[in-house]
Amino acid sequence: MTNITYHIVKEADAASILALYRQAGWWQMDENPEYLETVRKILSNSFCFVIAKVGEEIIGMGRAISDGVSDAYIQDVTVRADLRGKGIGKGIIRTLLDFLRENKLQWIGLISEPGYERFYGGLGFNVMPNYTPFLLGEE
C-alpha cells in the first residue's frame, strides 16, 4: 500500500480513533457522548500517540505510555481490518520505537493478544517467559 504517512499527534479526529478502538473490540458499541471526550484525553495524555493515514483518513493507531525517564509500554496498536497484513502495524510500531529511543527510554514493553509472537518478534521484541501480566479485577 502506498502513500501511508505516520504522525505523532496530541489531537486527531476522535470519532475515527473511537471507530478503530471499536473495530478492534476494545470499546463498547453504544453511543455514550462521553466516549469522544475520553478519546481526546487519551490522545493528549499519552506519552506518544501515532496515527497512520492515507490522505486524510486515519487507518491505524498505536500509543505509548511512559514516565518519560526509564520505562514505556506500547498499547492500543490496531489497523483498520481491511488493511491488515500490509505492514501498516509495523510502521506504527517503528514510529513509536523511534520516538521512545529518541527520548532515551531503555525498557520498552507491551502485552499482546495470543498469536502475535512472530509479528512482535520481527520488530525486536522477546517473549518474557518468566513473567505473567496481571489485570486488576472488579471488586
Q: Which tens digit of pLDDT belongs to each residue from 82-138?
A: 999 999 999 999 999 999 999 999 999 999 989 999 999 999 999 999 999 898 987
Quote the pLDDT of residue 40.
97
**C-alpha to C-alpha distances, 81 to 3, 66, 126, 128, nearest whole angstrom:** 18, 28, 25, 28
What is the reported pTM?
0.92
| Cα–Cα–Cα angle for 69, 49, 41, rounded to 5 degrees | 95
Percent of the chain with pLDDT over 90: 86
SS (H, E, C) 42-87: HHHHCCEEEEEEECCEEEEEEEEEECCCCEEEEEEEEECHHHCCCC
Instruction: Please determine, for residue 1, whether its predicted confidence score (pLDDT) is greater than 70.
Output: no
Mean pLDDT of the chain: 94
Q: Which of 12-16, 32-36, 69-73, 118-122 has the weakest average pLDDT?
A: 32-36
Domains and CATH numbers, the chain: 4-121 (3.40.630.30)
Arithmetic mean of pLDDT, 57-62:
98
